[in-house]
Each structure stands twice: as structure tokens, then as C-alpha cells.
């Protein structure tokens, strides 16, 4: 049974695992308003699976797929007045799973909290659907082999902020990270996967544990194949792509 609360602060023990050891994962999905007034939620069951994979990697207890989807639906219904009109944006949904129990030793938390909150949003980038201005980051790396780049852990994102802020200060929209092993191949942007389209071929780096196999990524691949595109998973050498 899920409990619904008004949006507000949450209380955590200072020794909770999320505050001390970043034991936490999250998801991001959206709800849309149709012309007939109904609502659509984009593939929540896929986000539930992704959350479970991340939770298993961090030794966390996760909700079942049905529990996840039910919590998301109830949260959307409770906030339906905030879903923008068709074509004007969407309701962003943020599920969080955190180690809320106290633990001083480096070990899994004794208790976990799963919560979902929402916010109305427009386009993620201010440019909207116009081309983005990206810069290749060759000094820091988003993830490394054997790390947590393949899951949506909370700890993955703060390390990219400095490089991202520096890029935006120079007028760029976002950054493209290279792989840490060869320092030559594109992996991901700070906030999304990378796809290269040439003729009828779409190329995107294979995941292999360092790239998030996101729901949007999977959906683009499925839809592209439905429309007859070939989807390949080569290493994308940025020197060859942009020279």
C-alpha cells in the first residue's frame, strides 16, 4: 500500500547510507496529456526494470515492476492538474530509491525508501528542437570499466557538473564524453546517449557496462528498426567523425 503526501522535505538520519555513501538510484520518465484529455506515461515498466538492475548493483532492495508502475500512476493522478496541455510540455516523473537507514560502516543500509515526485517541464535544452552546440571533453570521464556507468546511480552525475558548467560558460549546450580506456571514442553526453545518423545507418556506442542502456535509447533503436534503419554499435572515434 502506497501513501500519498504533499510535496515537502523528508527527514534523514545524518548517518544514512545515501548521505554518506551515495547508496541510491533514480529514474526519469514523463507523462503527457492527449488532445482528448487522457494521460500517457511512456514505458514505465522499462524504468522499473532499469531501477531493479541498478538496485541490485548497489545491494539495495527494490520495488517490483507492478509496485513501481502503480506508484508512478498514483503520483501522476495526484498531480494531473500540473500536466501541461498537448504540445506545451510534459509532467516529469522522478522515482528515487535511497538507502535511508543509518549505517556508519561501509555496508548496505538496513532500510530503504522509495518515493516518486513530479514537476511540469518544457524542453530539456533551451534550444528546443534546434541543433545543440556540443564540445568534446578530453580531461575528465563520465565512467570507467567496472564502475557504475551502466546504471542510473546518484553518484554518477555530480562528477560531470564541473566540466558541464565550464562548457556552458563557453557557450556550449552540453559535453560529449570520451571513453576512459582509449580516450578516443565517444561514449555519452552528460545527460543522454549519443546517436550518429548517416544515410540509412544509425550508429551508437555499445553499452558494455560504461554507458547507460536507457529507456529512450532502447526506444529509439526499436523505432528506428521499425522504419527500416540499420542500427550499428561500433566505437565512434571522434577524430574520424568530426575531421
The pLDDT tens digits of the residues spanning 125-151 come to 666 667 788 899 988 998 899 999 999
Its pTM stands at 0.91
| C-alpha–C-alpha distance, residues 187 and 229, integer Å | 21
Report the chain's mean pLDDT, rounded to a whole number. 91
CB atoms within 10 A of CB 1: 3
Please give the residue that has the higher pLDDT: either 14 or 191: 14
Whether 39 shows a pLDDT value over 60: the answer reads yes
Whether 54 shows a pLDDT value over 80: the answer reads yes
> Alpha carbon of 232 to those of 12, 17, 190, 206, 224: distances in Å?
45, 40, 22, 9, 11
Q: What percent of the chain has pLDDT over 70?
A: 94
What is the location of CATH 3.30.470.10 in the chain?
A: 17-121
| C-alpha–C-alpha distance, residues 24 and 9, integer Å | 17
Amino acid 6: pLDDT: 78
Amino acid 5: pLDDT: 74
Q: Which of 2-16, 164-178, 229-243 has the lowest mean pLDDT?
A: 229-243
| DSSP character string of 88-145 | S-EEEEEEEEEE-SB--SSS--S-EEEEEEEEEE--SSTTTTSPP-EEEE-SS-S--T
What is the location of CATH 3.20.10.10 in the chain?
A: 134-242
Whether 25 shows a pLDDT value over 90: the answer reads yes
The whole-number average pLDDT for the span 91-108 is 96
Amino acid 241: pLDDT: 63
| C-alpha–C-alpha distance, residues 186 and 241, integer Å | 10
The whole-number average pLDDT for the span 64-75 is 96
At the second CATH level, the architecture of 17-121 is 2-Layer Sandwich (3.30)
At the second CATH level, the architecture of 134-242 is Alpha-Beta Barrel (3.20)
What is the maximal distance between C-alpha atoms in the chain? Answer: 56
The whole-number average pLDDT for the span 212-241 is 88
CB atoms within 10 A of CB 39: 14
Residue with the three cell numbers 548517518: 15
The three grid cell numbers given for residue 204, joined into one nine-digit string: 551508437
The β-bridge partners of 71 are none
Residue with the three cell numbers 527494490: 62
pLDDT band, very low/low/confident/very high, at 122 (cuts 50, 70, 90): confident
The whole-number average pLDDT for the span 16-33 is 97
Amino acid 1: pLDDT: 52
The whole-number average pLDDT for the span 163-171 is 93
Q: What percent of the chain has pLDDT over 90?
A: 72
> Catalytic one among 152, 162, 168, 218?
152
In the annotation, is 152 catalytic? yes
Whether 243 shows a pLDDT value over 90: the answer reads no
pLDDT band, very low/low/confident/very high, at 64 (cuts 50, 70, 90): very high
Amino acid at each position: 500500500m502506497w501513501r500519498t503526501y504533499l510535496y515537502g522535505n523528508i527527514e534523514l538520519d545524518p548517518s544514512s547510507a545515501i548521505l554518506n555513501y551515495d547508496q541510491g538510484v533514480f529514474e526519469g520518465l514523463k507523462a503527457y496529456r492527449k488532445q482528448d484529455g487522457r494521460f500517457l506515461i511512456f514505458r514505465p515498466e522499462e524504468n522499473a526494470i532499469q531501477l531493479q538492475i541498478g538496485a541490485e548493483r548497489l545491494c539495495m532492495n527494490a520495488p517490483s515492476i507492478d509496485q513501481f508502475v502503480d506508484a508512478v500512476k498514483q503520483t501522476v493522478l495526484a498531480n494531473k492538474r500540473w500536466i501541461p496541455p498537448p504540445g506545451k510540455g510534459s509532467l516529469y516523473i522522478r522515482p528515487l530509491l535511497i538507502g535511508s537507514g543509518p549505517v556508519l560502516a561501509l555496508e548496505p543500509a538496513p532500510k530503504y525508501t522509495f518515493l516518486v515526485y513530479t514537476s511540469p517541464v518544457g524542453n530539456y535544452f533551451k534550444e528546443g528542437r534546434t541543433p545543440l552546440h556540443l564540445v568534446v571533453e578530453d580531461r575528465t570521464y563520465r565512467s570507467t570499466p567496472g564502475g557504475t556507468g551502466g546504471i542510473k546511480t546518484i553518484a554518477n552525475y555530480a562528477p560531470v557538473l564541473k566540466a558541464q558548467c565550464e562548457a556552458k560558460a563557453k557557450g556550449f549546450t552540453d559535453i560529449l564524453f570520451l571513453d576512459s580506456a582509449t580516450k578516443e571514442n565517444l561514449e555519452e553526453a552528460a545527460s543522454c546517449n549519443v546517436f550518429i545518423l548517416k544515410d540509412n545507418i544509425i550508429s551508437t556506442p555499445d553499452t558494455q557496462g560504461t554507458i547507460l542502456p536507457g529507456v529512450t535509447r532502447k526506444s529509439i533503436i526499436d523505432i528506428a528498426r521499425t522504419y527500416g534503419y540499420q542500427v550499428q554499435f561500433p566505437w565512434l572515434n571522434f577524430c574520424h567523425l568530426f575531421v
